[in-house]
DNA sequence: GCTGATTGTTACAAAAATGTAACAAAAGAG
DNA sequence: CTCTTTTGTTACATTTTTGTAACAATCAGC
């Protein structure tokens, strides 16, 4: 399967060179000269220039990491040699990496390849969320309750996945709204209704889906 | 069938730890502190330390790849973080992989498992995708349904092949579009229509080609 | 207990996704 | 070129999902 790479750099020349090179390697490449809104089809990796105005690459990266929807997208930062320390200190570099400008194309390619394959392994081993007999398969978008396949709608599935992926953490309605409905606005009561719908479907596990009075909802494993 | 794994590392402690772990996973484990002559009973996979004297892991791997008898044995290299680039640039990493020291046992296990299943699949699926009486021959681009050759058009064939190659995984329309029509744009309703055309042709297997409301399509084996 | 805020439930209308037929455009074969 | 096949698009009926209002139940603090 072709990998999607998003290249963000305010110098069009650099975008073009990288685009050319990665297309030759079989990637689907999207370039942009500034941070953009990510659509439904998220890239597999982002190659991000740090020095940009008005919004620095760092700031945008922080935003991406803040949203569960985009948090897992690996980012490779492009930075001047003099900024190297900042990167190393400022970022955990969890699934991320960086290259210093001016970079060798070969190095960039190698790092992209390495980061993608690394994150792929991590994703593969996390394609299933499970608590006792309650199993979510994120690939097939199916939910099994004690061995029975239970039909879930999209919204229901995404909400349960969000909560189960972070057990023991309270999610405010607002947080849930922003994650599941990133684009348009819906009432926060909508969350309640969908929680109720999920509870009905997960039967005995409905006790795990608790409301925290005044705070929001939480999945207790 | 138990898988045979050969672990080569000049540190006996590491050998022992890995041996213990993989035996618990049900592997037949052989360890060695240096490259050895492979007997009649070839391992299914080799876990190979790169930094060894007198013969580096790389050199030995090259020898193995040079002999038809051992060429197809997948190898996972263990290397220091600083050597990562060398691996990526020097090796195609075709069916191979690598881990950086110090490694997490969990990661090593996952990679071994992934590499083995990958190589297994490559051997098994000689360009044929098959589910019961539904057989796609990727070389001749022919589709057989319960023994009958059914004429498929190009688009239909590619779409079915994509879905059948990844059974149990949901593909969004967008994903399908980008795979089948990587260059120019077509409506996502086009996907629906072609799915319908495929369903008609695969008769009883049409139930396997399911739509996931809000997500896309999935082939259920 | 009482009170106001929060949460649960239900019903229903609105919106969105999907399947299908019909047609138009494009590509190939002869 | 003409005929045929393939492919994309549109339109519309059908199905499924989803948001919201209204009301009931519950909770926290007094």
Do A111 and A158 lie in a common domain? no
Do A113 and A208 lie in a common domain? no
Considering A106, A125, A144, which residue would you say is the last residue of a domain? A125
Q: What are the pLDDT digits (tens) for B7-30?
A: 999 888 999 999 999 999 889 999
Do B113 and B62 lie in a common domain? yes
Considering chain B, what percentage of its residues have pLDDT values greater than 70?
82
Does residue B44 lie within 7 Å of nucleic acid chain D, judged by its CB?
no
8 Å CB contact between B96 and B77: yes
- Tell me the CATH number at A137: 1.10.10.10
8 Å CB contact between B78 and B101: yes
Interface of A with B in 102-161 (CB under 8 A): 106-107, 110, 113-114, 117, 121, 124-125, 137, 139-141, 153-155
The residues with which B79 forms a beta bridge, in sequence order, are: B100
Inter-chain touch B85–A110, beta carbons under 8 Å: yes
Inter-chain touch A153–B182, beta carbons under 8 Å: no
CA nearest A207: which of A196, A220, A194? Answer: A220
Alpha carbon of residue A76 to chain centroid: 14
Distances (CA, A) of A220 to A167, A209, A212, B56, B57: 6, 7, 11, 50, 47
Do B73 and B160 lie in a common domain? no
Tally the domains of chain B: 2
Do B175 and B191 lie in a common domain? yes
For residue B41, what are the domain limits?
4-125
Q: What are the pLDDT digits (tens) for B44-96?
A: 999 988 877 666 777 788 777 766 567 778 888 888 766 666 665 545 444 56
Tell me the pLDDT of chain A averaged across its residues. 82
Who wins on pLDDT, A201 or B184? Answer: A201
8 Å CB contact between A150 and A202: yes
Do A68 and A88 lie in a common domain? yes
Do A145 and A107 lie in a common domain? no
Inter-chain touch B107–A114, beta carbons under 8 Å: no
Q: Count how many Cα atoms sit within 13 Å of the Cα of residue A16 in the half-sphere of its side chain.
A: 3
Chain B residue at shortest CA distance from A2: B179
A194 SS3 class: helix
Q: Which residues of A touch B175 (CB under 8 A)?
A: 41
8 Å CB contact between B97 and B119: no
How far in angstroms lies nucleotide D15's C1' from the CA of residue B115?
43
Burial class (CB in 10 A: 0-12, 13-18, 19+), A172: middle
Do B210 and B154 lie in a common domain? yes
Do A118 and A148 lie in a common domain? no
Chain B residue at shortest CA distance from A151: B212
Q: What are the pLDDT digits (tens) for A12-23?
A: 898 989 998 888
Considering B97, B125, B153, which residue would you say is the last residue of a domain? B125
Does residue B182 lie within 7 Å of nucleic acid chain D, judged by its CB?
no
Do A81 and A160 lie in a common domain? no
- What average pLDDT does the segment A46-75 reach? 80
- Tell me the CATH number at A88: 3.40.50.2300
8 Å CB contact between A35 and A10: no
For position A84, what pLDDT does the model report?
A: 62
Considering B107, B125, B143, which residue would you say is the last residue of a domain? B125
For position A92, what pLDDT does the model report?
A: 47
8 Å CB contact between A96 and A75: yes
8 Å CB contact between B7 and B30: yes
Residues contacting A35, CB < 8 A, separation 6+:
A8, A52, A55, A57, A60
Do A10 and A118 lie in a common domain? yes
Do B23 and B90 lie in a common domain? yes
0.85 exceeded by the pTM?
A: no
Does residue B189 lie within 7 Å of nucleic acid chain C, judged by its CB?
yes
How far in angstroms lies nucleotide C24's C1' from the CA of residue B212?
30
For position A8, what pLDDT does the model report?
A: 93
Q: What are the pLDDT digits (tens) for A124-136?
A: 555 788 888 888 9
């Amino acid at each position: 399967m072709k990998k999607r790479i998003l290249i963000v750099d305010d110098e069009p020349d650099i975008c073009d060179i990288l685009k050319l090179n990665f297309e030759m390697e079989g990637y689907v490449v999207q370039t942009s000269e500034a941070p953009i809104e990510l659509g439904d089809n998220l890239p597999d990796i982002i190659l991000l220039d740090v020095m940009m105005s008005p919004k620095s690459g760092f700031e945008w990266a922080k935003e991406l990491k803040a949203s569960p929807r985009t948090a897992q997208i690996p980012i490779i930062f492009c930075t001047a040699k003099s900024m190297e320390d900042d990167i190393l200190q400022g970022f955990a570099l969890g699934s991320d990496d960086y290259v210093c400008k001016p970079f060798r194309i070969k190095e960039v390619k190698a790092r992209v390849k390495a980061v993608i394959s690394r994150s792929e392994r991590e994703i593969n081993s996390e394609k299933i969320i499970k608590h006792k007999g309650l199993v979510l398969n994120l690939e097939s978008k199916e939910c099994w309750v004690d061995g029975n396949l239970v039909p879930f709608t999209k919204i229901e599935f995404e909400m349960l996945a969000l909560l189960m992926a972070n057990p023991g953490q309270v999610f405010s309605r607002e947080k849930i709204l922003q994650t599941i409905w990133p684009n348009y606005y819906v009432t926060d009561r909508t969350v309640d209704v969908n929680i109720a719908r999920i509870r009905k479907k997960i039967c005995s596990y409905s006790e795990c889906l608790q409301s925290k009075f005044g705070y929001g909802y939480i999945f207790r494993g």
